[in-house]
Amino acid sequence: MVGVYKVFQATPVGILDSTNGCWIVQAHCRDMQDDDYLKNRWLSYSSACVPLGWVHPSCRAQITLQDWSGSVKAIRCLPRKKMVLDRHSCSLWVHSSLQRTFTISLVYLNPFGKPQGTISQDQAKVLQTYQEKAHKKDLLPRSSSATDTAGVKAYSNSNWTNRNEGLSLGATGGTSRNGGMILPFTPLSMSFDNVSYFVDMPQAMKEKGATEEKLQLLCELTGAFRPGVLTALMGVSGAGKTTLMDVLAGRKTRGYIKGEIRISGFPKRQETFARISGYCEQNDIHSPQVTIHESLIYSAFLRLPKEVGKEEKLARTSMFVGEVMHLVELDDLKDAIVGIPGVTGLSTEQRKRLTIAVELVANPSILFMDEPTSGLDARAAAIVMRTVRNTVDTGRTVVCTIHQPGIDIFEAFDELLLMKRGGQVMYAGPIGQKSQKIIDYFEAIPGVTKIRELCNPAAWMLEVSSVAAEARLGIDFGEYYKSTPLYQQNNALVKELSSPPPGAKDLYFPRQYSQSTWGQFKFCLWKQQWTYWRSPDYNLSRFFFTLAAAFMVGSIFWKVGTKRENSSDLMTIIGAMYASVLFVGINNCGTVQPVVAVERTVFYRERAAGMYSALPYAMAQVVAEVPYVFVQTSYYTLIVYAMVSFEWEAAKFFWFFFITFFSFLYFTYYGMLTVSMTPNLQVAAICSNAFYYLFNLFSGFFIPGPVVDGYYGSCPMAWTVYGLIVSQYGNVDDTINVPGMSMKPTVKAYIED
């Protein structure tokens, strides 16, 4: 737009001039400004001036002043008044009116597209609600816009304060709706006794002199998490916070675990533990092309019990999802696309709340969160913690790892499990009002520095319990904790929670997943369809490439299908068939890889959450490609078949379409395969290029099939070329000239040989 603005501005040395009849110049605001300025400045003067030179009116692109009398002169002197009036012939009042129109339009007209500086939906509702209440009470005059604006600002500020009064996190949050959650759940506690975790000794540590076969990361940890209690796991980096939470949540697939983990007194069954628990990872991984509401519906249908009837489940699930969105304060953004982190879609804080909501719609009794405030500013962290607090107030057991929180966030927790390097516990107990119980505990240790006024208790606690502080004081805080009455109280609590209460029944699930294999496939396909439909860059790129490739192949091999006089003509036709599949197939393989790479990270999270197994997801991803490849094949085969002039027989056209369709599919599926079997997208692209070379080498086009007989049958491209040749010319009895042969074989016989 800047370039267009500069090209069409009608300055005295401009490229185009308003008197040349160019309508875009006459409508240009810069031209109007020059006209007004020149008239006001020179209209009253009549002294002579000398223009730079002049040319014929037909030379409109020359950078000179022009005379419109029609005669040719090298130099001409004109009065300034006449020159200005000739140069700018419109009236001053017309241009002034048009400029006022421009100004008014810019002020009052709405811009096209989505404006960036707009208020949110909830603020708009606040404005409307306030005006209605104010008019009913005659607090606002209906004709006074200034009063309206002032009142709305006051009401909006008041409403924001009320809604976010929990930013200090001193007050208890909760759902605003009475009656609690739509779907009931069983409050469950978790206790663990003498839990240790080992991994095989890394080779690098063995080379440095380590003699042990196993490396211990957690050392005989004992503790308990209870319903309605928000527990924080804290410690320095490398203390084992996330490791402990992963062990308790069953996310560790390698290593050796010792000890006992119980759920409300019953032994934990890892196969079905995901049915009663949720895990919010530190990285907020979601499908970028679906909305918030669709993400929650998808998670709910895959994880809620199947025993509920279909009609009842649909109604109750929709209500429950709405309740969860209200709980995490995302109901005003339910139709927003998730997007790619840092590029489009939701902000970091909104993604974190979506992560919590995705786990909450599974109706878990126990919820683990790995550093929910990591990477957030103070305000965003406070909003997320208010969401966490609301979750706890529903009666769930919530455990969070957290790293150096602020004062307000730290005091939002009820209990703390503090770990030291080496996987040992230094403190496990209540935090207290204004962290007083933790302060009293550490200040009671001889030699520990007293907390300073206005100091963050969390930062002070980590400072006085560091490795350097242990060395200075000569105290092992882990051993000191085991000698305190608090340790004995925790052991008694763990012993109490390790026994089932009277009349309690163990949670039993007949299968690992909530939905059947068919149900998993249906819901995975539903999400894949939305993902593909909302990926226009992917679909349009391959569609346009296919269209261009079709015309390119058709123009290169124009009407070669009608020429069958000798073997070279037949090889040209085979080349047309080969090229018609190879170009588009390679493009399909390359373009599908980024899409699968993005969804693969989502697949890892969802499979670990117990949503589905690998087979239904893979089948859904495969089926989702079929309609797009079908459309792609339809117009491609029509264009190529017509331009190359293959025989217009229904059977031959059908087989040409059939073979091309499945060839495009297997190239697409090969792109999916390479991404699934390689660590990242770059390695997948390298592997794909290597196999393109092998496809070409063993396809039978460059090297005859009998020469590479051992590899010919294993190359899918060879079967494609063979199928296209046989379907088009397998029944042709016309003879052709073959160099070196005295007898003319038929096309059918030549192909068979």
Q: What is the DSSP string of 296-330?
A: HHHHHHHHS-TTS-HHHHHHHHHHHHHHHHHHTT-
Alpha-carbon gap, residue 467 to 477, rounded angstroms:
9
Beta-carbon contacts of 575 under 8 Å, excluding residues fewer than 6 positions away, are: 557, 701
Mark whether 541 and 637 lie in a shared domain.
Answer: yes
Beta-carbon contacts of 717 under 8 Å, excluding residues fewer than 6 positions away, are: 581, 582, 663, 695, 696, 698, 699
- 10 Å CB burial of residue 132 (0-12, 13-18, 19+) is exposed
Across the range 510-537, mean pLDDT stands at 91
pLDDT above 80: residue 84: no
Tokens encoding 500: 């089932």
Residue 448: give its domain's CATH number. 3.40.50.300
Kindly indicate the confidence band of residue 553, based on its pLDDT and cuts at 50, 70 and 90: confident
pLDDT above 80: residue 479: yes
Task: Tell me the residue range of the domain where 152 lies.
Answer: 127-163
pLDDT above 90: residue 615: yes
Kindly state whether residue 218 falls inside one of the protein's structural domains: yes
pLDDT above 50: residue 194: yes
Kindly indicate the confidence band of residue 381, based on its pLDDT and cuts at 50, 70 and 90: confident
Residues 395, 186 contacting (CB under 8 angstroms)? no
Residues 427, 481 contacting (CB under 8 angstroms)? yes
Mark whether 706 and 641 lie in a shared domain.
Answer: yes
Kindly state whether residue 621 falls inside one of the protein's structural domains: yes
Kindly state whether residue 387 falls inside one of the protein's structural domains: yes
Kindly state whether residue 349 falls inside one of the protein's structural domains: no
Number of domains in the chain: 4
Mark whether 440 and 537 lie in a shared domain.
Answer: no
Mark whether 89 and 142 lie in a shared domain.
Answer: no
Kindly state whether residue 508 falls inside one of the protein's structural domains: no
Kindly state whether residue 683 falls inside one of the protein's structural domains: yes
DSSP 90-137: S-HHHHHHHHHHHHHHHHHSPPSS--SS---HHHHHHHHHHHHHHHHT
3-state secondary structure of 253: coil
pLDDT above 60: residue 363: yes
Mark whether 458 and 562 lie in a shared domain.
Answer: no
Mark whether 534 and 491 lie in a shared domain.
Answer: no
The 10 Å CB-count burial string (b at 16+, else e) for 564-583 is beebebbebbbbbbbbbbbb
Mark whether 559 and 637 lie in a shared domain.
Answer: yes
Mark whether 607 and 684 lie in a shared domain.
Answer: yes
Mark whether 83 and 227 lie in a shared domain.
Answer: no
Residues 191, 497 contacting (CB under 8 angstroms)? yes
Nearest to 296 by CA among 220, 360, 218, 387: 360
CB atoms within 10 A of CB 284: 22
- 10 Å CB burial of residue 226 (0-12, 13-18, 19+) is middle
Tell me what percent of the chain is helix, strand and coil, each rounded to the nearest 5: 55, 10, 35
| Amino acid (one-letter) located at 612 | Y
Helix (DSSP H) and strand (DSSP E) numbers for the chain = 29, 12
Q: Which residue has the higher pLDDT, 194 or 23?
A: 194
Q: What is the pLDDT of residue 617?
A: 95
Mark whether 493 and 611 lie in a shared domain.
Answer: no
CB atoms within 10 A of CB 34: 20
Please report the beta strands in 226-378, taking only residues with DSSP state E, as ranges in sequence order.
230-235, 256-263, 266-267, 277-280, 366-370
Mark whether 103 and 140 lie in a shared domain.
Answer: no
CB atoms within 10 A of CB 148: 18
Q: What is the pLDDT of residues 309-335, one digit of tens each?
A: 566 667 778 888 888 898 888 988 989
Across the range 626-655, mean pLDDT stands at 91
pLDDT above 60: residue 18: no
Mark whether 748 and 652 lie in a shared domain.
Answer: yes
Residues 302, 164 contacting (CB under 8 angstroms)? no
3-state secondary structure of 72: coil
3-state secondary structure of 215: strand
Of 133-137, 341-345, 432-436, 569-573, which range is least confident? 133-137
Alpha-carbon gap, residue 192 to 496, rounded angstroms:
12
Tokens encoding 748: 């059918």
Tokens encoding 581: 């599949």
Give the count of alpha carbons within 13 A of 412, CB side only: 30
Residues 632, 542 contacting (CB under 8 angstroms)? yes
pLDDT above 50: residue 166: no
DSSP 413-444: -SEEEEEETTTEEEEEEE--GGGHHHHHHHHT
Question: Quick one: what percent of the chain has pLDDT higher than 90?
Answer: 33
Kindly indicate the confidence band of residue 57, based on its pLDDT and cuts at 50, 70 and 90: very low
Q: Which residue has the higher pLDDT, 250 or 572?
A: 250
Kindly state whether residue 372 falls inside one of the protein's structural domains: yes
Kindly state whether residue 343 falls inside one of the protein's structural domains: no
Q: Which residue is it, tokens 């050796």? A: 256
Across the range 228-233, mean pLDDT stands at 94
Q: Which residue has the higher pLDDT, 114 or 669?
A: 669
Whole-model pTM: value is 0.71
Alpha-carbon gap, residue 504 to 468, rounded angstroms:
48
Q: What is the pLDDT of residue 142?
A: 37
